[in-house]
Amino acid sequence: MFAYLVRRLLLLLLVLFGVVTLVFFLIHLIPGDPVDIMLGDQALAADKDALRHALGLHRPLGNQYLSYLGDLCRGDLGLSIHSRRPVLTEIGERFPATVELMLGAMLVALLMALPLGIISALKPYGWLDGASMLISFLGISIPNFWLGPMLIILFSIQLGWLPVNERGGLEHLILPAITLGTAMAAMLSRMIRASLLEVLDEEYITNARAKGLPERLVIFKHALRNALIPVITIIGLQVGVLLSGAIITEAIFDWPGLGSLLLEGIYSRNYPLVQGCILVIATVYVLVNLLTDIAYAWADPRVRL
């Protein structure tokens, strides 16, 4: 296990280095000058040159890259071009909102997927299974940039039950969490159904029933735990999808998270901010994948890393 963790951590560092390098050069290739955005087209050339020198954008791109790597090794993500505040501070202010939205979406997905998947597996090829499959197909097919506005029109504008935007109490989280978690719920429900159907045919399930154990105990203690092994893997892999989907969802609901901060940085050509946001997203993604592998081994003692 220790050797496996060391290999994964080294691979993690290599992946993050590739992400940093790729994002650094791609963001500088995007058309548009942050100095022009900050000062406007009517600013004097001398003022633009002065600001460019102050921001360090006059240096060759290779020198900027090496300087950025050096700062990154010291844990410094740089200063935001516009606010001149540390990027790490701005990310730290927004990151809790994104985590809250991700956890809410994951909770919504599990609350929807577990009943649908279990019912479909216990009554396969019936009308309940067909209805569950239809709901899953709809959940996968409907994009969140369409579902979000539809939920706003129905529950906020027409019915007036829930607030439209911004972060607040639980009522502010419901619509964004449903928007972000619906597609994940559709995928998980089909995965739970397929995995549970496979487990129910195993010999140890037959033995448990032969011993006279209650059916509820057989399903939830013996069958469901082993059926959740691939589901755990999918949940871990879906964290990256939730982070990318959160960018659109946060923009729709004006949610003050990391996704909306990333979009603000892209619009304003705020290089350090964009690089810092993507680096944090990539770090979370690879760390969750590592934790997923560990949880996989914990859930099934037969699996050894």
Residues 271-295, mean pLDDT to the nearest whole number = 81
What integer pLDDT is reported at residue 68 of this predicted model?
A: 82
Average pLDDT over residues 144-168: 84
DSSP for 41-91?
TTS-HHHHHHHHHHHTTTS-HHHHHHHHHHHHHTT---B-TTT-SBHHHHH
User: 134 is written with which tokens?
Assistant: 């239809």
Question: Does 40 have pLDDT greater than 70?
Answer: no
Rounded (5°) CA angle 19-246-196: 95
Quick one: CATH architecture of 87-299? Orthogonal Bundle (1.10)
| Of residues 198 and 51, more confidently modeled | 198
Q: Taking residues 158-167, report their average pLDDT.
A: 80
Mean pLDDT estimate for the chain: 80
Q: Based on C-alpha coordinates, what's the Rg of the chain?
A: 24
**Which residues, at least 6 apart from 279, have a Cβ–Cβ distance to it below 8 Å?**
16, 19, 20, 23, 72, 77
What pTM did the predictor assign? 0.78
- Domain locations in the chain? 20-73, 87-299
Q: pLDDT higher for 88 or 203?
A: 88
Is it the case that residue 33 has pLDDT exceeding 70?
no
Whether the predicted pLDDT of 278 surpasses 80: yes
Q: Is the pLDDT of residue 169 over 80?
A: no
* Contact indicator for 68, 24 with CB cutoff of 8 Å: yes
> Which residues neighbour 157 within 8 Å (Cβ) at sequence distance 6 or greater?
164
